[in-house]
Amino acid sequence: MPKKDFEYNYIKKTIRKPLIKRVKPNYKWLLQVGLAALFISMAFALVSEVALPNFGLISGILIIVLFIVIGFISDIIGVAIMVADIERFHSLAAKKIRGAKLGIKMIKNKEKVASFSSDVVGDVSGIVSGVAGLIVAEYIITVTGWSALHVIVIVTAIIATITITGKAICKPYATNLSNHIIYELAKILSYFYKAK
């Protein structure tokens, strides 16, 4: 068979194969994620709505920082789980080291862990930090009498800048220290959950 015919047949067979494997949606997982997002966002919103009006400016800023840090941590976990090496956890599990089996289970379900961590917890904390920022902006407007437009724009821009810059700074660390991050997380979670 001439080389051109071989290449043509090979390319023809390769192109006919679907490039993306069709994935059937896991409706049970989608329902669980949706409900988790609902309850986490309600809890975060309740904390910010109840706590912020009763606190001063400094306490409000600390609550915003708390939500931003929660977003950083969840984003770090989401990135780290996607690049973690399961082989290292198998060697730790062979030595019966605490958290190794749970780390294996988390890595085997990395899409779900990353989705929950980054999409549910991370996005909800980002939204709630924005809402908390508006409450702090209202407080600043009430106390100082400054222009509402200027205060809201400045507070929103500061929160967005800190969030985006912080996540950009955290991602290389999450990638480079992925195994260590997932191991420490699995070790902590192993006190509350036993992997089978």
Q: What is the pLDDT of residues 12-43, one digit of tens each?
A: 555 555 555 666 778 888 898 889 889 988 88
Which of helix, strand or coil describes residue 96? coil
Whether 5 shows a pLDDT value over 90: the answer reads: no
What pLDDT is recorded for position 37?
86
Task: Check if the beta carbon of residue 182 is closer than 8 Å to that of residue 107.
Answer: yes
In this structure, of 56-60, 83-87, 164-168, the range with the lowest mean pLDDT score is 56-60
CA distances in angstroms from 182 to 46, 106, 155, 166, listed in the order given: 30, 8, 34, 20
> Could you tell me the residue ranges of all domains in the chain?
3-189
- Name the DSSP letter for residue 119: I
